[in-house]
Amino acid sequence: MRLELHRLFVKDLKFGDKTGFANGTLTINKKELLNLISEDPLLGKNLDVDLAIPGDSTRIMPVKDVIEPRWKIEGKGQVFPGTLSDVETVGEGKTLVLTGAAVLTTGTLVRFQEGIIDMSGPGADYTPYSKTCNIALVLEPADPEMDKHDYEKACRIAGLKAAAYLAQCCAEVPAEKVDVFEHANIREAMGAHPGLPKVGYLYMLQTQGLLHDTYLYGVDVKQILPTILSPLEVMDGAIVSGNCVSACDKNSSYVHLNNPIIANMMKRHGQDFNFVTCIITNENVTLADKRRSSSYATKLAAMLGLDGVIISEEGFGNPDADLVMNCQKAEKQGIKTALLTDEYAGQDGASQSLADSCVEGDACVTAGNANEVIHLPPMEKVIGYPEEANVIAGGWEGSLAEDGSITVELQAITGATSELGYTKLGAYTI
């Protein structure tokens, strides 16, 4: 497979008469975009679109999803297959990417597990989306009593439609940079790079239900058995988020498209190891389902003769059991593992970090302690509803002060402890 990402680099946003791109600025016809998303009868009439640029004294909350604007300009399939377009395999051809831009869904959402993005100040240091030029869709349901699953779908579709629309309007602009990626099929991969270890990526997706959902080619992943996927399919929009989980380690659609584990494994492929494939698996609720999926996913790794796998988690608590099962079963089959997770170690950092563990899990990378408390000063502008700070995960009654400042755990900041490593946190030796 061969995928070309044709990039335009967005450095500024403005509203104007025609949606398009020139000289680093993405111009947006606000009325046209609003008309597009308001076509859904499940959304209310008081919809809005607002803009936020890095460095602005702007707070956006509560944020549900973040989506990178993309459009397929050559090749089969279209962006976000199975959701916006026909179910056609992606990962090949040419895709336009508006690098540096992001569509955010915000407004009166499902509430409890959404997040905060500050464009400046100390909060901006914890979210990668303080550095993107953000187009915020402020949404509301047509009926306040609407089923939450229906409303989540309406918000998800609105964000994806907006992202596709913005990129489509720029499809005739010559790319400023083209990144080319190639990945072999399984038969070719198994014979390639003799002498290098065969490595895979075991990609855990949040699928616990109750609005904790992820979609693969439009299918709710909790309905599938683990399967293999080319990394180029992931990079080309095969996976989208529908999750209403804690903001700090929610894998947004944006981070699936830009998964740094895949990006770095692709860079090291053929040099340090032979990157054979991705194995997609789910995070289940019942013990039987956890056992089924972990056994099946590690069986696929063993059948492919993998020497090692990187395993990433999404979420915390219940999914820690899936992470540990995947680790233990892979190691017992002779497959070396490296785990990527985050921690919920209490505000003092002294509590148990994960809900489960095993002796085999001796190579683990942490994305940080989501319970760490941070104080966010007031911003000049708020897009959305700041009072949600009192109810979202990581906040509490009284998190929002009268002066507009907010005190919360990192859990409430979008992408703060990303378990794909798409985060601004790091470590150094002292």
The residue type found at 285 is: V
> What is the token pair recorded at 58?
């702007």
Residue with tokens 């720029």: 170
Nearest to 105 by CA among 57, 69, 158: 158
> What is the token pair recorded at 95?
């895709």
CA distance 206 to 226: 13
- Inter-residue contact 304 to 186 (CB < 8 Å): yes
CA distance 282 to 289: 9
Nearest to 94 by CA among 79, 109, 84: 79
Active site residues: 244
Q: Which helix (H) or strand (E) segment is 232 a member of? A: helix 231-235
CB within 8 Å of 39: residues ≥ 6 apart: none
Q: How far is CA 218 from CA 10, 79, 105, in A?
A: 28, 11, 19
Query: What count of Cα atoms within 13 Å lies in the side-chain half-sphere of residue 336?
Result: 6
Which phi-psi region, left, alpha or beta, contains residue 404 (left: φ > 0; alpha: ψ -120 to 50)? left
Nearest to 24 by CA among 133, 160, 171: 133
Residue with tokens 């398009």: 20
Strands (DSSP E) contained in 157-268 are 177-182, 198-206, 214-216, 219-220, 227-229, 239-241
The residue type found at 409 is: E
In the chain, what is the straight-line distance between the N-terminal and C-terminal CA atoms, in Å?
44
Pairing of strands 198-206, 227-229: unpaired
For 165, other C-beta atoms within 10 Å of its C-beta total: 19
CB within 8 Å of 4: residues ≥ 6 apart: 93, 94, 95, 178, 179, 180, 181
CA distance 216 to 80: 9
The residue type found at 377 is: P
